[in-house]
Structure 1
């Protein structure tokens, strides 16, 4: 499934991702500056959280909750990892088996740790304001 969108259409794109994803684990593949974190922010909001969404570049993982306080999910940024062992050391398996939403930025840094049921999302930069999003297996 493919979508061409601008930032003003993020709410609708977030709805489409939630509706068409076969998994609560989402892997975002995109170059730097393509809008991975901005899209994850829209998805988290659409799922019912008002938490401040930001890239967990330095902490590696952020946790988001629903208005009720119930845990919504985890947001990972693997950009700064040197190897997959670092992800294992932070307890990635426990996060992945939690049953909560999982949002992964830079999953290509941990190729052998990506779950089989992951939903892959690729973002391509078409121009300064336009993106192509592809939801694939």
Structure 2
């Protein structure tokens, strides 16, 4: 499926469509070049999911834990700065990926071998006209 974000004013609507389309998928791997808008889209997803915490990139923390207004948790990962797969083992990735909570993973390339089998691959790409496409 492909959703198009023509401008930032469309991002919340598209995020709502995405949330309504993901079914039972809990772990989502977000692919895209630097600056494509992965974090911005995840922030919009968190708004749609009623996150009450401040949402920002977990670049240095590796994982952020956000709480929603119904006390469920969403885990947001950024694996850009990890050097090897062992770092994911060290922080106990299984506790997150298999928790049943939503997991949004940026820069999943290095951890692909440990992603759950049913991980939803999501690509955020910049189009020639400056719009973004979310493909999953």
TM range (shorter): over 0.9
Give structure 1 regions of 4+ aligned residues with deviation exceeding 3 angstroms. Answer: none
For 1:68-94, what per-residue CA distance to the aligned partner results, in whole angstroms no more than 9, with x for missing partners?
Answer: 4x1321000000011111001111011
The corresponding residue for 1:33 is: 35
The corresponding residue for 1:131 is: 132
Change (3 A) 1:8 1:86: same
Structure 2 stretches lacking a partner, 5+ long: none
Structure 1 stretches lacking a partner, 5+ long: none
The corresponding residue for 1:81 is: 82
The equivalent position to 1:50 in structure 2, one of 42, 52, 61, is 52
Question: What TM-score results when the alignment is normalised by the length of structure 1?
Answer: 0.92
Aligned length: 134
Q: What is the RMSD computed on CA atoms of the aligned residues?
A: 1.3
The corresponding residue for 2:12 is: 11
d(CA) in 1 for partners of 2:46 and 2:20?
13
- Residue 120 (structure 2) pairs with residue 122 (structure 1): no
- Contact 2:97–2:115, Cα closer than 8 Å, also in 1: no
- Contact 1:7–1:129, Cα closer than 8 Å, also in 2: no
